[in-house]
Structure 1
């Protein structure tokens, strides 16, 4: 029995939500899943996947207008679940495109910026990235060294961003910089003089994903490149909360896929004259994993309903990311033990998921930072300051 069916979770979804989930799952099963292990091994992702996912309608699907589908947060979360069930790198591309790049433009950009970029990004005709993290400032973005200085009617940007998903693919980068007036956001198009990218290689995780460094060396931009509604560090942090929400569901997808791989294997792998699914220790592992997947899904669905009602708080997103990612890593690792030595092969997904989830545990706020965010909410004392 599927872990979600065990707790009758599909009955909590509307017909439209089930249809969207099924559509995304069917597309990924036919067009992406057969290739993802090969992409992971090669450490590469084909650029054409951007247009394919745009055609599917998942890029910025939770945003309104400008070619976006305007779905509910719940539907977007279910799409993220199916995307990460295939690979965290695929879900990460969609999250960065829609919840970081597109959301930053939709929420904080000018009408001209929205008209120029959002329809192309939604269709996958253009790719976006989000430049906040720096080599020395990850968990503490307020200390960023990237600076933007006014020069007449223009701005000049200098600095470096790192661990930027979609970086070298990006036709437009949302770059955050300190100014004399506080943190501001800028749209930096590909080809702008002084703006270069370099892919980060040698990764042991998120290999089916493009990860880059952004270098800004005297990049001159007109004031029209500034996001006019972004006036503090709160702007990029609100974008991160949009992306973290998708992770709450995505982690459930990775765990679900790892469970399914282990359960299928246990039903066919024969030792001591019977399938290993018939042994008590294996059943104990399957039961624990199924409960972890089911409870993670219920938590994700509850948070989605709160978001759709306009009541979701940042600390609740932290609770969802912290719980579901840590739980998903544990499930993926346990699933690998059921597969035995075969579990280290790319023919099976659990160890690939476990490796990817190490990145998911770290980006969009480390597990430690989310634990401190919860501690702050519970005690009123900000321990990280």
Structure 2
């Protein structure tokens, strides 16, 4: 009777978050993975660290080292960015080498790569050219190939998959609309079932889609729409629901080909409009049996898919930031020293390096789970939101390091395009604000909690036995976890049972402590805020932050363990864990401050907040790690290669850079990396010269002047001098920014000066003459 009364009271009060039909399909899609461990309050790190950690197969590694490298070599990223045209040889190579077929089974002509291989390739190409990468990412992510592979009829698989594999069909996915972005379930696109004059069942479509990547060049659309069947011809009812069908370019009533202009590196993206477009009902993916199953299909594939393409691009961006900023800081000198030795620069470099290590750890851990048949929607949402945001932050840090060389556009700027393009990934597949404040904790609190989903289902079904059993379990869980939290708080995590890993175990204890507190706070939120959680997005956003950074810290340690606990990488792991725990601490403080106007909220805002501040989970060890971590990307070697990972770096022969012509015609990345190598090779010589100056064997002057004096006195050899000269020469070219004539700048051969200005007061002045600029020019028609 007590449980019956409680159940009726909860139903009447709508105490649990209400679950709509579309939300239920999202909640039931995929699996609970390490996110469930955090919500449990007692994470089993030994179990997590024993899970598979993917490596590329020999076939996949051969593809990365072969065709992927070749594709990047044939594409100049600056030329593609400025012309917005991909070379035809690259287009042909994409098709012939199988770049469209990573998801497609080999029996249908595909390469059938692992999720790890697909994300590795996407990360590598995206960091080289975002426009080029869209031609690889879109065919190999949510869309025609993936949906047909999992849900298509046999006839659809046999017809479409081989043609998608060869690029005969270039797909795009039509979902987003002017009034349905992050709230994709509210799409207005409509399809009405009818019989034509011959008695054939068809669908008349009307829709307006936007932000559709590859729409201007695609010839096959996977279109999402709401299907209405007034005469119930398909046997699914008059309002079947969201459906996905295939629409071919050129069909009457279909308009496509216009372009949007994305920020940064503009890629092929545009609108698709359909007015009374008629298709056969058989074009529904999966046939008429799958009418109304579109939302389920999308949620099931997004459950893992969000962890692949966008996180891969984000990881590629962080890698590029690490490689470029580390090399530039070593090459660029100010105040007689490389800027890499300045503490202010080191703070930025350390964060970039540690986040490159962390983001790659997260990428591999997640795709390993996908390859092990996990489909974790909450973790996928976290990876999408937090890795893309992390990439944007590290692009900003790299820009700070490179300063003027980062803000002046041109082929010599190796970081600016990535910085400008960063906001794109933030908005795709659900804007990060919505992913953080609605999806991550909204799904996680119900699906990943040990008992919440069972209780919600029992309340909806008015199932007393299930409700009673789940409520008893929840009460027991709360009692045990609250006791655990008290013990962990009093001992600062030392009561936690964690694996013994030198230099890392203290962080695992703190993560166990954080998990227990997170589980306690989740219980309190479900009990006191309950059905109003959807509206409390500021609170749920802070919960998402605490969850996300715990998962990222766990991923970092997982990588360290999987790679054999390489001791020189330990400072990277410690920095990443300190950084993540600081984010978790901040999130907890915000949760305590914003919990709500109820007794629990009052206690958290007062006593709880004070306790949280005087006994924080984060230490103060970040600053001491900065110099060591910063150096990991300012010196070539195995460690720097592990941090930058599979990043495309143009091959070069340093000796060739002695030629003025070769150096002048070298790309910005190649020139910077050549300078990076040359500076390191000449470092011993430079130290000899500096030591000679300190010993007053040579007079103080520029490096070149002191080197000449050192050579004359036999302190260095002619070969030494040659190494130093080459390093200085290539370094100067590497730090130079691009210059453009007025004709190049305005794209008009008739322009001599900026339009609206003219040469005045100085007769016969020519460009470059030795007079002050304001004497040359005056404003006309002001």
Q: Specify if TM > 0.5.
A: yes
Bigger relative contact order (CA 8 A; separation at least 6): 1
SS of 1:364's partner is coil
Cα offset for 1:62? 3.2
Report the equivalent of 2:296.
234
How far apart are the structure 1 equivalents of 2:88 and 2:71? 16
SS of 2:204's partner is strand
Alignment partner of 1:293 is 2:335: no
Report the equivalent of 1:376.
442
How far apart are the structure 2 equivalents of 1:157 and 1:48? 37
SS of 1:185's partner is strand
Report the equivalent of 1:96.
138
Cα distance change on mapping 1:202 and 1:14 into 2, 3 Å: closer
How far apart are the structure 2 equivalents of 1:261 and 1:241? 34
Alignment partner of 1:154 is 2:202: yes
Cα distance change on mapping 1:120 and 1:50 into 2, 3 Å: farther
Report the equivalent of 1:72.
114
How far apart are the structure 2 equivalents of 1:80 and 1:324? 15
| Deviation readout 1:287-328 (Å, 9 max, x if unpaired) | 110110110110111111110111231111111112211111
Cα offset for 1:210? 0.5
Alignment partner of 1:224 is 2:282: yes
Cα offset for 1:162? 0.5
Cα offset for 1:19? 3.6
Report the equivalent of 1:124.
167
How far apart are the structure 2 equivalents of 1:77 and 1:266? 29
Cα distance change on mapping 1:378 and 1:242 into 2, 3 Å: closer
| Deviation readout 1:345-385 (Å, 9 max, x if unpaired) | 23323221122221111001211222122212443276279
Instruction: Give RMSD over aligned pairs.
Output: 2.2
Report the equivalent of 1:363.
428
More deviation, 353-362/38-47? 38-47
The 8 Å contact of residues 97 and 128 in structure 1, kept in 2 or not, is answered as yes
| Deviation readout 1:195-246 (Å, 9 max, x if unpaired) | 1114234432341x20010011100111121112461412233444554222
Cα offset for 1:78? 0.9
Alignment partner of 1:177 is 2:243: no
What residue ranges of structure 2 are gaps of 5+ in the alignment?
1-52, 196-200, 228-238, 447-529, 538-782
Cα offset for 1:279? 1.8
Alignment partner of 1:316 is 2:368: no
The 8 Å contact of residues 87 and 254 in structure 1, kept in 2 or not, is answered as no
Report the equivalent of 2:418.
353
Report the equivalent of 2:249.
190
Cα offset for 1:55? 2.7
The 8 Å contact of residues 24 and 79 in structure 1, kept in 2 or not, is answered as no
How far apart are the structure 2 equivalents of 1:293 and 1:383? 33
How far apart are the structure 2 equivalents of 1:205 and 1:48? 24
How far apart are the structure 2 equivalents of 1:258 and 1:56? 29
Alignment partner of 1:254 out of 317, 322, 327? 317
More deviation, 41-50/355-364? 41-50
How far apart are the structure 1 equivalents of 2:327 and 2:387? 23
Cα offset for 1:255? 1.3
Report the equivalent of 1:13.
55
Cα offset for 1:25? 4.5
Cα offset for 1:66? 1.5
The 8 Å contact of residues 261 and 348 in structure 1, kept in 2 or not, is answered as no
How far apart are the structure 2 equivalents of 1:142 and 1:79? 31
Q: Which has the higher strand share?
A: 1
| Deviation readout 1:20-52 (Å, 9 max, x if unpaired) | 4333552243122xx222222234445664442
How far apart are the structure 2 equivalents of 1:253 and 1:140? 28
What residue ranges of structure 1 are gaps of 5+ in the alignment?
1-10
The 8 Å contact of residues 95 and 243 in structure 1, kept in 2 or not, is answered as no
How far apart are the structure 1 equivalents of 2:170 and 2:104? 16
- What's the TM-score once normalised by structure 2's chain length? 0.45
How far apart are the structure 2 equivalents of 1:283 and 1:149? 61
Report the equivalent of 2:151.
108
How many residues are paired up?
372
